[in-house]
Amino acid sequence: MKGRGEIVEEIYRKNGGEVKEFKKFGGEIDVGYRIEYEKRITEIDVQMFGLISGDFNPVHFNEDVAAKTKFGGRVVHGMLTTGLVSAAVARMPGLVVLLETYFKYTAPVRIGDTVKVVGEVVEKEKNRYRLDVRCYVEGKVVV
């Protein structure tokens, strides 16, 4: 019988995720270093995020209700979209911990959209970095 971790990893891989082993990084990250990450948002992602977060706002789950909003239909949870920033930053070499974030949502993300996260190191002080990160759907900034 599979454990919970194995089940989650299997679901993650089936949905296009890649599980990487942690490797110690001995090099330097300089200003200008870039990270990129892409993920297509699925119905399963939205359902799972609702279960994990407890956010069952009808704008995410009920097409009839969502159609009457300024979005004109269902939208993905904003925090699900910004959660992809964490996935992108986790791909930086070495051990990375987010200490502070600020997000501005500029356009809705819909189920089926592929979100591309692009980040660039813009400041470096000792072993701390400040990144400018944006999320795009079809070239348009959404966060």
Q: What is the pLDDT of residues 104-120, one digit of tens each?
A: 999 999 999 999 999 99
Residue 15's pLDDT is 64
Give residue 43's domain range.
Answer: 29-141
- Residue-wise DSSP of the chain: ---HHHHHHHHHHHTT----------S---TT-EEEEEEE--HHHHHHHHHHH----HHHH-HHHHHTSTTSS----HHHHHHHHHHHHTTSSS------------S---TTPEEEEEEEEEEEETTEEEEEEEEEETTEE--
Q: Residue 12: which pLDDT band, with cuts at 50, 70 and 90?
A: low
Q: What is the pTM of this model?
A: 0.80
**6 within domain boundaries:** no
Q: What is the pLDDT of residues 26-78, one digit of tens each?
A: 567 889 999 999 999 999 999 999 999 999 999 999 999 999 999 999 999 99
**11 within domain boundaries:** no
For the chain, what is the domain count? Answer: 1
**71 within domain boundaries:** yes
Q: Residue 93: which pLDDT band, with cuts at 50, 70 and 90?
A: confident
Residue 114: which CATH number?
Answer: 3.10.129.10
**50 within domain boundaries:** yes
**8 within domain boundaries:** no
